[in-house]
Chain A
Amino acid sequence: KQEVTQIPAALSVPEGENLVLNCSFTDSAIYNLQWFRQDPGKGLTSLLLIQSSQREQTSGRLNASLDKSSGRSTLYIAASQPGDSATYLCAVGTNTGNQFYFGTGTSLTVIP
């Protein structure tokens, strides 16, 4: 069974700092990987989707990379803002239909 881990579990940074969130998975036979953010008590907002054949995806201040062979993905957030404060989740898509395995999440706080 696919196991997805995110480190650190919580992160607090001053506004303006660049930061990296980590996601690791045990089975490299993935179809894709998706990064989400979740605000307290809310649903998930999709940030970036990387297909297994891709190395990275960018959207605005966000850049996600994927290294299948080592079972790792990183989400880079440039010039962090207080509005970036949320829990960030990575989810690994399988080769067996629409089933994603989620990581435990990183709770990010950006201090003004």
Chain B
Amino acid sequence: KAGVTQTPRYLIKTRGQQVTLSCSPISGHRSVSWYQQTPGQGLQFLFEYFSETQRNKGNFPGRFSGRQFSNSRSEMNVSTLELGDSALYLCASSESGALSYEQYFGPGTRLTVT
């Protein structure tokens, strides 16, 4: 099976702009989670989608949003970018919609905000 793919891999944006990141899970996986990784805060949970519904949400401002399509692909959007949004954004897919199952991560999207 193909692994989790994320596009684009690298992105440079200016403060105030918005950005959309994409994640394609492993075939058959219905849950997609998004994480932000920064040197100072480590890996922090953004949100999780299952069957096109947001099931869990971390402690991030409303500028961070996401959605999931019927084929389980997910997008994450960040509006009004701030310098502090520069980070590696990782998505993870898992097989089950029940409780926490083994997660498989994509290579990440490196976002730089200038």
The answer for the CA separation of A43 and B105 in the assembled complex, in Å, is 6
- Counting contact residues on chain B (CB < 8 A from A), the size range is 20 to 34
8 Å CB contact of A100 from B50, B103, B108? B103
Q: B35-52, CB under 8 A of A: which get 1 and which 0?
A: 100000011110010100
Tell me how many residue pairs across A and B have CB atoms closer than 8 Å. 72
The answer for the CA separation of A99 and B90 in the assembled complex, in Å, is 13
Interface pair A89/B43, CB less than 8 Å apart: yes
Residues of A contacting B4 with CB < 8 Å? Answer: 43
Interface pair B99/A95, CB less than 8 Å apart: yes
B-side residues, CB < 8 A to A, are 4, 31, 33, 35, 42-45, 48, 50, 55-56, 58, 88, 90, 92, 94, 99-108, 110
A-side residues, CB < 8 A to B, are 31-32, 34, 36, 41-46, 49, 89, 91, 93-105
